Structure 1
Amino acid sequence: MRQNIVVECVETGERLYLTSKNKRNTPDRLELKKYSPKLRRKAIFRETK
């Protein structure tokens, strides 16, 4: 059972990316390194509620 989640940049707070995850396999918050246009580099994006 996959659910869509929004990831938010830790440093700037921008919400750019939409992804999905399996809540049964990964119950904790997801952290991904994605590109941030404001910072012009890769940054950590964390799952929001």
Structure 2
Amino acid sequence: MAKSINRPKVTLACPECKERNYITTKHRVNQRERIEFKKYCPRCREHTLHKETR
């Protein structure tokens, strides 16, 4: 199955320690602004709000 051009890969980074921990995809048409998820950061050893990086 071919990959969709409307779902680019984005990297999520922890704003506290600046480590890039997760890679995910997002739908380009439906999610135009940067996405944020509450994920576990192994360096901080707690759940923090991870934001999309460029």
Give the TM-score normalised by the residue count of structure 2.
0.85
| Larger Rg over CA atoms | 2
- The list of structure 1 runs, each at least 4 consecutive aligned residues, that deviate by more than 2 angstroms after superposition, is none
Q: Which residue of 1 aligns with 2:44?
A: 39
Unaligned runs of 5+ in 2: 1-5
Please list every run of 5 or more consecutive structure 1 residues that lacks an aligned counterpart in the other structure: none
> Once superposed, what is the RMSD of the aligned Cα atoms?
0.6
Over the matched positions of the two proteins, sequence identity in percent amounts to 37
The structure with the greater share of residues assigned to strand is 1
Aligned length: 49
Calculate the TM-score normalised by the size of structure 1. Answer: 0.93
